Structure 1
Amino acid sequence: MEQSQKQNLELENQLAKNEIEKKEITRHLESARADHQAKEEQLLKEQADNQALSKRLDQSGKENLKLTDQLAKNEIEKGELTRQLEKAQLNSQAREAQLNREQAENKNLNQRLRAIEKETSKLEKQLIN
């Protein structure tokens, strides 16, 4: 009987140790599950952040394309305006040259008119005398 009681005590001790080990393993398992859950939540957050960044990147790319397109249009318009300016400058230079010729001609005609008026005045004086 003593042997049986001793064996029962050993089994009860082993059972108690097993329960303690079971509780410890359960704690480790729960801790691992909590860590795993936290990592999954972090991963989901990072995935959401990545999706948001991807959308921002796509939007940025679209905006860059719009700006590049507008820049090209502006360059074309700048070229056209530059050609118009050059044409206007050439027209202005031609008009200025024409005005200079007309001024020179007017000066020449005024000199001739004064000479004729002088001659006329001389002739009138001679007629009076």
Structure 2
Amino acid sequence: MSTEQAELNAGEVLAAAERFPWALAAPRERHWPDGEFLDVALRTVRTEECDGYIERLEAFVEQHRARLEEVLRGWGPGSRPAEFGRYALVGQPETLVILERMETNPFGLRRQWEKELEDVLLDDLEFVWGPRIRLSR
């Protein structure tokens, strides 16, 4: 990791993501306080993207507001698909970063995710988001 990337503060990025309550599940329905998923997603932010990343994340979330609301309603906590234990990332604040990375650096996200985490959660998120490029098998 470069020194520039180290300056990207996960706590600040998470706080920015939490400013969009309309895209998030209720706090009592949130998971993974350890930041594991956020850390993996942030490792895919390239050095040249670090400066101003929070502003770009905020712009991404605002740009995709309707789509994010639809994903939360259709797949988030309390939805029929979520009853079966799938789509657990939907509605989590770190998911806003994961989705932004899915759109901005999909191959980097997939590569980093496969090194560190099980594919199923990213596959599920990719399915509900419907990115331009399908990376799952």
For the pair shown, the structure with the greater C-alpha radius of gyration is 1
More helix by share: 1
Question: Do these two structures clear the TM 0.5 threshold for a shared fold by scoring above it?
Answer: no
In the superposition, the TM-score normalised over structure 2's length comes to 0.14
Q: Which has the higher contact order (CA 8 A, sep 6+)?
A: 2
